[in-house]
Amino acid sequence: MGLNIITQSHQLGNGSGSDQVTAVKTASSTYTNKWYLQEKYTSNTSVIEVTTLEDAADKELLLNQDANIVTSLSVNNHIDPTSYDIGDNVTVKILELNALYRIKTKSYQVSQGSEVIGLEFY
């Protein structure tokens, strides 16, 4: 949150100087009003298509233009870990939060008979 937010994405593609392929996308005022202008430059030197850079910029904004709230959990196996997987939307109830979150990463950590499942969310 805070200064990890991105509201303007600059994608730098193939070439240099005035020949360089570039794309710039800015988040909507919904987000720039909340988080101000926060820029990020990303180098994609193998990309020669502007539309590819624009798609990358849009995605970067989508993932980073607002706060995500719950970013990760470690859970026990009270719920069968094979009943959910990456890509699924599951419910998280913690403190006053109660919402669906989509699983980006799922990990198993097993040691001396104990098992902890790690979940990271989009």
Partner 1 sequence: MAELPADTLNVVRKQNEIWTASINIDYALLQKKLIAQSTTVDNVLRSGLRTVKIVRDGVTIFKGILNEPTISYSDTAVNVTLPFKSWLAYFQKRFTSNVYSNTDAGAIAWGIINTAQGVTDGSIGVTMGTVAATKNRDRTFDRDEIANAIMKMSADNVKDGFDFEISNEKVFTVAARLGSDKPAIVFDNISILGANIA
Give the binding site for partner 1 (CB under 8 A).
1, 4, 46, 48-49, 51-52, 54-56, 58-59, 62-63, 67-76, 78-79, 81-95, 97, 100, 102-112, 116, 118-119
| Beta-bridge partner residues of 10 | 24, 41
Q: C-alpha angle 100/103/105, rounded to 5°?
A: 155
- Quote the least distance from Cβ 29 to partner 1, whole Å: 19
- Quote the least distance from Cβ 84 to partner 1, whole Å: 5
Q: What SS3 state is found at 33?
A: helix
- Quote the least distance from Cβ 13 to partner 1, whole Å: 12
Q: What SS3 state is found at 15?
A: coil
